Amino acid sequence: MTQTELPYLELTELTQRIQAKQISPVEATEAMLSRIVALDGQLKSYALVMAEEARAAARQAEAEIARGEIKGPLHGAPIAVKDLCWMTGVPTAAGMTIHHDFRPQDTATVVKRLQAAGAIILGKLQLTEGAYVDHHPQIPPPVNPWSAEHWSGASSSGSGVATAAGLCYGSLGSDTGGSIRFPCAAQGLTGVKPTWGRVSRYGVFELAATLDHIGPMTRSAADAAAMLAAIAGADPDDPTALQAPVPDYMAELEGGIAGLRLGIDEAWMGAATDAATQGVLQAALAVLKKLGVEVVPVRFPDTAAVIEDWFPLCGAEVAVAHKATYPARKGEYGSSLSALIELGHGLTGMGYQEIVLRRIDFRGRVAAMFEGIDLLLAPAQGFASPTLAKMATAGEDAALMQALLGYTCPFDMTGSPTITLPGGFTDAGTPIAFQLVGPHLSEAVLCRAGHAFQGATDVHRQHPALG
């Protein structure tokens, strides 16, 4: 295997080779660290590289595997986590200058679980300020490795850039309005936004408590299933984490999707999407039909109110999350996050309750729709691969933000699980993605559907030309 091929292996391909002793965890980790040194000065995906800690974990994994103590499909894989996730004694800034000296006294549950599964943590990945839409003015944003002129995808931008550029074999992201899905769409990755509560939020900096989802960002549905299996499940440190048993996502991957009912709302999918996105949706539908899905016409509930409500609801929850530092240190905040918090401060109790009632109503309508289908086909975003110039004012342009969030934030409002899958490319050669959405706790079906799609296509195996 060449040094060019090694960084772009899928995570599960890498660990199969590691556990067959064809590659060592130390070799894979050193390759990643060397590549980070060579490329990340330009790409800026890492907030912090933990080289010595990663080397120590790699040596430990190598010794365990040599003794036959294999912990599962993540054992020996060098990965990275979004810099929202606490690690004891490790700086965790959440994309903010206010927190640049913060060193947590505990480790996030998701990180503990990845480490227990034998994963090697390379470091902490950069994000937008507080995980909202724009990067802090003093922090350089990660650069899309497919094209420096194109958007890298909002909050989990560092996670997307590092995974796509071959600077880790998988990563953790978070999604409050679309921030697992946007970077995956921007960079040709596969990401799972789990059901709200399927994955513990303990030890993860909060943006908006009832909207935040933590999930994997990877190169394939199999990789996403492997990471999700490690992090999902009940957590005594997070009482909102769901008690439902965690399926064996990996064991269910090969079941195929023949006979699954795929919901299609042509009017909704076409209402706010450009021609490139429509082309990817139709191509994906054709593949899914060949794989045996049964297409079921549906009418998706009207999203206008729930999209509009997302902003003040998110603002109110963000205001609570930042009450210790805002407005006391308002001058240290960027304009987009500050404006969102101010929106939250302006929401009345009655206004908040009206939003809650509309949200419950919408959630019920979506749940009722899923009584008749197993999956829903949806765009990942309305417009394919936006440029940085187009996104420059997104945090302050309500119309642009509504167009961007139209196919993402409704599923944060419902807590529905989604899988984002690469589906094609623009004329400029940048990736375009689509989503499959399921009822609550249907992650196994979503990963299986993604795996089946990727078995019939090769878009997810394309990577940027970085060497």
What pLDDT does 4 receive?
Answer: 73
* Beta partners for residue 80, in sequence order: 171
Residue 395 has pLDDT above 70, yes or no: no
CA–CA gap between residue 156 and residue 88 (Å, rounded) = 21
Please state, in angstroms and rounded to a whole number, the distance separating the CA atoms of residues 439 and 442: 6
Confidence band of 379 (pLDDT split at 50, 70, 90): very high
Highest mean pLDDT among 3-17, 251-265, 382-396: 251-265
* Element at 446 (helix H, strand E): helix 443-456
pTM for this predicted structure: 0.97
DSSP H or E run through 12 = helix 11-19
pLDDT greater than 90 at residue 2? no
Summarize pLDDT for 291-317 with one digit per residue, the tens.
Answer: 999 999 999 999 999 999 999 999 999
Whole-number average pLDDT of the chain: 96
**Above 90 in pLDDT, residue 397?**
no
pLDDT digits over 184-218, tens only? 999 999 999 999 999 999 999 999 999 999 999 99
pLDDT reported for residue 346: 98
Summarised one tens digit per residue, pLDDT across range 307-363 is 999 999 999 999 999 999 999 999 999 999 999 999 999 999 999 999 999 999 999
Q: Work out the pLDDT band at 401, boundaries 50, 70, 90.
A: confident
Helix and strand counts by DSSP (H, E) for the chain: 16, 11
Helix orientation angle between 51-66 and 25-43, rounded to the nearest 10 degrees: 160
182 closest CA partner among 148, 156, 163, 206: 156
Contacts for 23 with CB less than 8 Å, ≥ 6 apart: 1, 6, 14, 17
Residue 467, pLDDT score = 62
Q: Is pLDDT of 3 > 70?
A: no
pLDDT at 1: 58
**Sheet with 418-425, edge to edge strand ranges:** 46-49, 120-125, 78-82, 171-175, 213-218, 190-193, 418-425, 431-437, 375-379, 261-264, 294-297
Q: What is the pLDDT of residue 34?
A: 97
Spacing of C-alpha 167 from chain mean position: 16
Q: Judge whether residue 396 has pLDDT over 70.
A: no
SS3 state at 250: coil
pLDDT at 415 over 80: yes
385-394 pLDDT per residue, tens: 999 988 887 6
Whether 142 contacts 45, CB under 8 Å: yes
Q: How far is CA 29 from CA 76, 230, 277, in A?
A: 9, 20, 37
- pLDDT range class, residue 418, cuts 50, 70, 90: very high
The mean pLDDT value for 412-428 works out to 98
- Please compute the mean of the pLDDT values over residues 36-45 and round it to a whole number: 98
- In the block, tokens 């640049």 appear at 100
Q: Which active-site residues does the annotation give? A: 82, 155, 179
